[in-house]
Amino acid sequence: MGTSGGIAFVASDASAAQDALAELRSIYGEHAIETAAMIVALGGDGFLLETLHRHQGLGVPIYGMHRGSVGFLLNAYEPRGLAERLARAVPVRIHPLEMRTEDVRGKHDTALAFNEVSLLRETRQTAKIRVSIDDVVRIDELVADGILVATPVGSTAYNFSAHGPVIPLGAGVLALTPISAYRPRRWRGALLPHAASVRFDILEAEKRPVSAVADFTEVRDVLSVTVREMTEVELTLLFDPEHNLEERVLKEQFLS
């Protein structure tokens, strides 16, 4: 990847990230994000997701370096030789999920998610949710704490904690994973074509309120939620060849 347009550095509020920001700027200088050829993000996975959301309209690659807590999506931090690392970095192109919601008051909202869209019960009572795929009802009534749709990038995050599958990036599928399902008791989720449109209808929405979350955006008291992959939106993450994301996703499937 070329660096002729300059590198813009961004960092989380963590002290390690701020120290790294100062060090990298002292070595490579500063470049305005608006005209940069690429962005180097310093922090953890959460901050990298924030960076994707904040700067998705720029269309420039993002290279993350680990200066936070969780660093699955990040490269190792090393201040020297950054131009050479960026020049040989492997690009991974990702598409976000689009979440469209309608709440019990009839209000509509839209948000994007690079990891997952999750539906979660708001009270002590379990949620009751009808699940439809491409306008075909697949589950009349899911009784559970919730359910989520995860991208391959997000399959190792909340989806994995909910016992969903880890998805290789080139598989062309999304994970549909229940969260603490009570009925159907033996349903463990499904793999869906990446072009599938998923609709959730909340049953007994007033009595059993449900919130919908797309990465950092939460909409409470939803009545219906639709989720689809936005192929028209594409972002590029950069990874060192020896620590590329494809290998990390594959390796994660063999860890105990």
Active-site residue among 45, 109, 140, 240?
Answer: 45
In the structure encoding, which two tokens stand for residue 254, read together? 């063999």
Between CA 140 and CA 40 the distance in angstroms is 46
191's tokens: 């793999």
The SS3 assignment for 81 reads: coil
* Distance separating alpha carbons of residues 189 and 181, to the nearest angstrom: 10
Instruction: Give burial (CB, 10 Å; 0-12/13-18/19+) of 243.
Output: middle
Look up 103 and say whether it is catalytic: no
Tell me how many degrees the CA angle 28-31-32 measures, rounded to the nearest 5. 165
Max intra-chain CA distance, the chain: 59
CA 76 to chain centroid: 20
Sign of the C-alpha dihedral computed for residues 15, 64, 112 and 178 taken in this order: negative
- Which amino acid does the sequence have at 221? D
Pairing of strands 97-103, 222-229: antiparallel
CA-to-CA distance for 226 and 42, rounded, in angstroms? Answer: 33
Q: Mind telling me the catalytic residues? A: 45
